[in-house]
Amino acid sequence: MRVLVTGGAGFIGSHLVDALMESGSEVRVLDDLSAGSLDNIKRWLNHERFEFIKGDMRDAETVKDAVEGVEAVFHLAANPEVRIGSQSPELLYETNVLITYNLLNAIRDSNVEYLVFTSSSTVYGDADIIPTPEDYAPLEPISVYGGAKLAAEALISGYAHTFDFKALIFRLANIIGERSNHGVIYDFINKLRRNPEELEILGDGTQRKSYLHVSDTVEGMLHIFEHFKGENKAVDFYNLGNEDWITVKEIAEIVSEEMGLNPAFRFTGGVDGGRGWKGDVKFMRLSIERAKETGWKPRLDSYGAVRRTVRELLSANQSGE
């Protein structure tokens, strides 16, 4: 299969590229390297089945050139930082909604058969039903990031039905693992390196969410994509997450333990009832029953994913990566 991966030098994207290359696909990556790194995909740079394009998806012509000749597009390019929405909503619009619009217009004029999009659990907002199923409504994001992801979902659905290609949308829980360069575990490690005696924790520490290791994420995406190709649906949605969840305080304890430290925890108290920041969903756990019906399930639970991620990030730092 000839595939384009947008954001393929990023955290999740590079792991997906690894899996696609290992499966024998021809892979083209489009990435502006604002959040990603060539180091993440360096093993493929000179491979005959691999092509890298450095380009900004806000430029429509760049996107149009990138989709030429591919059968499927895995659209992972996005600004991954949820918190930035309160400071720079226009940036989240450009790097989530506008780039998706440009991609859809390019796909409309191409021979692309499939679009796979990584959306987010943030589209559900503060869900009344937990674990939250894909058909939960109304979707009411409480962050600009979640709103941008939902807007992208809506555009994808409209274009797929109108211009006759198939779209698979994944709503992801918190994805963690090797090569991640943002998020709570990454932040905790860096804070403890600066001050091993004290760890600042945003919010009240009771925030409880589901975490999925990137290895399980990529396996789930590719497994369900194969299943989706056999379905007679223009658009379909799948949650990818874990069946358990873990508190921020418990994550802090695991990070401290793995680093051999015993810091004092200092909770900021947070906003809006103990949230880490404005727009932070305090409790999130997705129903993954539909994904499991296809034959996929995560190998690591949230606790195992957190502990493995801490070890991976610490090991990468020690080796100078």
Q: Which residues of 266-289 are buried (b: 16+ CB within 10 A; e: fewer)?
A: ebeebeeebbbbebbbbebbbbbe
User: Which two tokens mark 33?
Assistant: 């390297």
Please report which residue ranges of the chain form alpha helices under DSSP H. 11-22, 60-67, 89-92, 99-108, 144-163, 184-194, 214-229, 248-258, 289-293, 302-318
Q: Distance (Å, rounded) from C-alpha 24 to C-alpha 316?
A: 27
For 308, other C-beta atoms within 10 Å of its C-beta total: 17
With beta carbons less than 8 A apart as the criterion, state whether 270 and 277 touch: yes
Tokens of 93: 């619009």
Q: Which of 101, 124, 136, 145 is catalytic?
A: 145
Whether residue 145 lies in the annotated active site: yes
Q: Which of 9, 2, 1, 14 is nearest to 217 (CA)?
A: 14
Catalytic residues: 145
